[in-house]
Structure 1
Amino acid sequence: LGFGVVAFACTTCNGMSGALDPEIQKEVVERDLYSTAVLSGNRNFDGRIHPYAKQAFLASPPLVVAYAIAGTIRFDIEKDALGYDQDGNPVTLKDIWPDDAEIDAIVKQSVKPEQFRSTYIPMFDVTRDAQAKTNPLYDWREMSTYIRRPPYWEGGMVGEKSLKGMRPLAVLPDNITTDHLSPSNAIMMDSAAGEYLHKMGVPEVDFNSYATHRGDHLTAQRATFANPKLFNEMVLDENGKVKQGSYARIEPEGKVTRMWEAIETYMERKQPLIIIAGADYGQGSSRDWAAKGVALAGVEAIAAEGFERIHRTNLVGMGVMPLQFEEGATRKTLNIDGTETYDVEGTAAPGAKLTLIIQRKDGGSEQVPVTCRLDTAEELSIYSAGGVLQRFAQDFLESEGAA
């Protein structure tokens, strides 16, 4: 999956390690034996390695192997025995840990310059004759699930956003990460993306991860808010508690559905959307699809208590307006429950004070001051063009006209 070395260990029992095959997955769900991943990759989001992995810890490859041997994280890696030799003596981590000389010897023996030369040199060894015969335009394939002509210059992605009559797609707590917004974990058959790939004739074994399909918007946009760890405060269980999972509530009907079904419904209605959130919205890795997904869903604005720096920039680049509540104002103090509609009044400018008008279901309304988080004149120019791609296209066409 591109995550390096991965081991899974059951959090409630010993002896489960290795990849989660379908039978183990079934047992994990039925017995609530959710697992923990120990991996040598560079991300530890909930569910990143597998939807059933509640926790993930980063470690070096030898440590991952050691935990796989142990089969549990309830293990003192420095003192406890990983196993026993043929004489019954305990074998601990320090007994099998390789020293630098051993590692250097294996690298010298196994990694050869020719391996790199044979792979990379032919990639750039193209003659002028071959270049002349190559069509400069990419031949888009309609059935591809890996690279597809993007829609960023079409439909709702172009033209000025009205910021009027917006309905909430989600009301979210603090610390929403880009992995909540657009997860990169393995695609499951019962997910919206899995169902789509299945209809496209892709066998389940080749579904791979959301990250590998980021060049196909029809697959990637189905990952929007598809994280099983999401808490959308618009969706409550029978006890009145926020229900965990990729859920939304379609308004004004009040119908609870899977997030993708709600997005599809709103897209068919051409309903402009808004997301209401708490502090530190968009923290984590700076993946572009965290902004692309909401933009394609029809989200015109994000109103939050605060934004992570890079994600805020990515939102602007996709033509989504970031709005920040004033100190002390939150979704809770404003009694937001997702039944409202929203308008934004005022002229966008760097740091400008705008007004978020909340239209209540009972007919009442409230005017809430918010700060326009287009922080520079350049960001205002990009947003006004509809996004960074539209701005680039405008600049290119203007330069061609001048030439």
Structure 2
Amino acid sequence: AGLLAKKANELGLLRKPWVKSSFAPGSKVARLYLEEAGLLPELEKLGFGIVAYACTTCNGMSGALDPKIQQEIIDRDLYATAVLSGNRNFDGRIHPYAKQAFLASPALVVAYAIAGTVRFDIEKDALGYDRDGNPVTLKDLWPSDEEIDAIVGEYVRPEQFKQVYIPMFDLDAVAKAESPLYDWRPQSTYIRRAPYWEGTMAAERALKAMRPLAILPDNITTDHLSPSNAIMLDSAAGEYLHKMGLPEEDFNSYATHRGDHLTAQRATLANPKLFNEMVRDEQGEVVQGSLARVEPEGEVMRMWEAIETYMERKQPLIIIAGADYGQGSSRDWAAKGVALAGVEAIVAEGFERIHRTNLVGMGVMPLQFEEGTTRHTLKLDGTETYDVEGKPAPGAMLTLVIHRANGESERVPVHCRLDTAEEVSVYSAGGVLQRFAKDFLESGTEATV
């Protein structure tokens, strides 16, 4: 990428003015060898200055768009896209107004910034024009293997890695705290005392009279369940942070507030790309958005307001879903959020492995429909209430009792997805944190400072 930027600068090419660009290498070592090779200034000339290290752009943390450009996108409903060299491109992940995101090599990211569009053939069409008006294509800028090997051989050295990483493990250089106990700050929106031993989280899951918070389609990702991207002012989390006195430019992303449950839980099912099949228009089409329908009133509202309504009523909840529920990042808040909302069970056609484990760890029961049974075959519309009968055990068949609004009931066999005896033990304790606390107290171990 640095070599491509150098050639582009030599030819007088520029990043298009409507393109937002940023550079967030995975390691501080990258800065050292790029500076020594003289390539960092070349990247900076094209707008790729270092803004942070590690998780940034692919976690929705590359910063706000220019307000004028963002308003133009909104007013004209423009199909804005992102191109990044990260490893995530879920809907809305990079930025709420980037309708699509494409993964590419770092060099191609620089090339697309020069072109200013993805609607062209990058192998054949011109990225731009040099000072003399001649077209410049990708092959004119692409560095050879020999050029890359020469830079790596001369400027990437073991000493740079030692310089960055050895001090990280020099614990004697760190000042010791006066107390081992954290001094909780009530106004903090980043770190707050966790509620996992209080309220509904401390109560036994009865799995009775549960109402559906959402009926979801196939391929629900953890980004649907708890997005990590930038927090917008008109979102539930944004409104909360505004009330807490934070200016909008300091909202940051959902991921950065994961230590404050009052902010993070407002991200639950807050993805604007969500399709909750309980929310439909007059033609019966599912409406896209972070929406829910509160029962028994049938009132449609924003997902967070629905969660608050059910929390005030102490209403136990359930989520019904299709296949591959919970795929994507192994995000802790995808399980924490629904647990704090009062969801006691998830019934799906299938689960992603890591997310299923996280649900168990938060005391949420994962249940799987038998092959051929789906939300569609059962004709579920969200007006039902649900019970679960049977004793949880690895491989056990439990019964999902569906109580319909017309007074009829239906009994549906479901697989208990507590897959091991250890998971049954964790779930029975209320979750992994409750299990740890229980084991610690029963051991009689004294905490020492």
| Whole-angstrom distance in 2 between the partners of 1:119 and 1:215 | 26
Structure 2: where are the runs of 5+ without partners? 1-15, 22-64
* Secondary structure of residue in 2 paired with 1:195: helix
Aligned to 2:43: none
* Secondary structure of residue in 1 paired with 2:414: strand
Q: 1:386 aligns with which of 430, 437, 445?
A: 430
Aligned to 2:20: 18
* Percent of paired sites with the same residue: 77
| Whole-angstrom distance in 2 between the partners of 1:96 and 1:123 | 45
| Residues 1:331 and 2:347 aligned together | no
**1:303–1:322 CA contact under 8 A, matched in 2:** yes
Q: 1:125 aligns with which of 136, 148, 173?
A: 173
Aligned to 1:368: 412
Q: 1:60 aligns with which of 97, 100, 105?
A: 105
Task: Render the CA deviation track for 1:353-401: whole Å, top value 9, x for unaligned.
Answer: 1111111111111111111110000000000000011111111112225
Q: 1:181 aligns with which of 225, 234, 239?
A: 225
| Whole-angstrom distance in 2 between the partners of 1:336 and 1:316 | 25
Amino acid across the alignment from 2:19: S
Q: 1:143 aligns with which of 174, 184, 187?
A: 187
* Secondary structure of residue in 2 paired with 1:53: coil
Aligned to 1:71: 116
Give the superposition deviation at 1:278: 0.5
- TM-score normalised by structure 1 residue count: 0.91
RMSD: 2.1
Aligned to 2:326: 282
Give the superposition deviation at 1:91: 1.8
Amino acid across the alignment from 1:29: I
| Whole-angstrom distance in 1 between the partners of 2:191 and 2:404 | 42
**1:15–1:72 CA contact under 8 A, matched in 2:** no
Q: 1:100 aligns with which of 148, 160, 164?
A: 148
Amino acid across the alignment from 1:30: D
Structure 1: where are the runs of 5+ without partners? 1-13
Give the superposition deviation at 1:118: 9.0
Aligned to 1:36: 81
Give the superposition deviation at 1:29: 1.8
**1:150–1:217 CA contact under 8 A, matched in 2:** yes
| Whole-angstrom distance in 2 between the partners of 1:215 and 1:44 | 24
Amino acid across the alignment from 1:70: A
**2:18–2:69 CA contact under 8 A, matched in 1:** no
| Whole-angstrom distance in 1 between the partners of 2:377 and 2:149 | 61
Change (3 A) 1:257 1:392: same
* Secondary structure of residue in 2 paired with 1:202: coil
Aligned residues: 385
Change (3 A) 1:167 1:107: farther
* Secondary structure of residue in 1 paired with 2:324: coil
Task: Render the CA deviation track for 1:304-356: whole Å, top value 9, x for unaligned.
Answer: 11111111010000000001111111101111000000011111111111111
Give the superposition deviation at 1:108: 4.7
Give the superposition deviation at 1:239: 2.2
Give the superposition deviation at 1:114: 7.8
| Whole-angstrom distance in 1 between the partners of 2:322 and 2:359 | 16
| Residues 1:263 and 2:265 aligned together | no
Give the superposition deviation at 1:78: 1.7
Q: 2:337 aligns with which of 257, 274, 293?
A: 293
Change (3 A) 1:82 1:402: closer
Amino acid across the alignment from 1:96: L
